[in-house]
Amino acid sequence: MTGFKIITEDKQEIRFNFYVDTAPTTSKAFIEILPFTRMFYHARVSGQEIWIDDVPPLDIIQENASVFTEPGEVVFGPMKPIRSKTSNCFGIYYGNGKGLDACNIFAKVFDADKQKLIDLGNNIWKNGSQELTITFLDS
């Protein structure tokens, strides 16, 4: 499995590749909780990010962790260290941002789907939350 995709309410698909070399534990664990559907919200503090805090739990280590991300990167808050303010949170940066605490950076949007991700992020920012399905990437 090389990645995952988002399916939006209007049936658009946005594809992401895992960082299998730098975040193998997070990538593998994330596959185990697919598929799931949740209501995603726009972040208030961390910048151009959509996120959830009710993701199926992952008991994972901290790896490839930072508060600094690039547009299009995907993060998951590890359960440890206990101090983490972002434990078990899942976020997708569609633009610039900086996390509240270090999260595992484990995937990035396909270059061809960057604009769809930007449009989704702006839609959630301007119009409110949206239910998204996160599922397996078709091979």
Cα 102 to the chain's mean position, in Å?
14
Residue 69 lies in a domain: yes
Per the CB < 8 A criterion, the answer to whether 19 and 27 are in contact is yes
| CATH number assigned to the domain comprising residue 41 | 2.40.100.20
Q: Cα 6 vs. chain centroid, distance in angstroms?
A: 10
Quick check: 50 pLDDT over 70?
yes
> How many whole angstroms separate alpha carbon 38 and alpha carbon 32?
16
Q: Which of 2, 6, 4 is nearest to 130 (CA)?
A: 6
Tens of pLDDT, residue by residue over 77-135, are 987 776 667 778 899 999 998 887 889 999 999 999 999 999 999 999 999 999 999 99
The boundaries of the domain holding residue 91 are 3-134
Q: Which residues contact 99 (CB under 8 A, 6 or more apart)?
A: 46, 66, 67, 68, 69, 75, 86, 91
In a domain, 139, yes or no: no
What does the pLDDT average to over 60-74?
94
Q: How many domains does the chain have?
A: 1
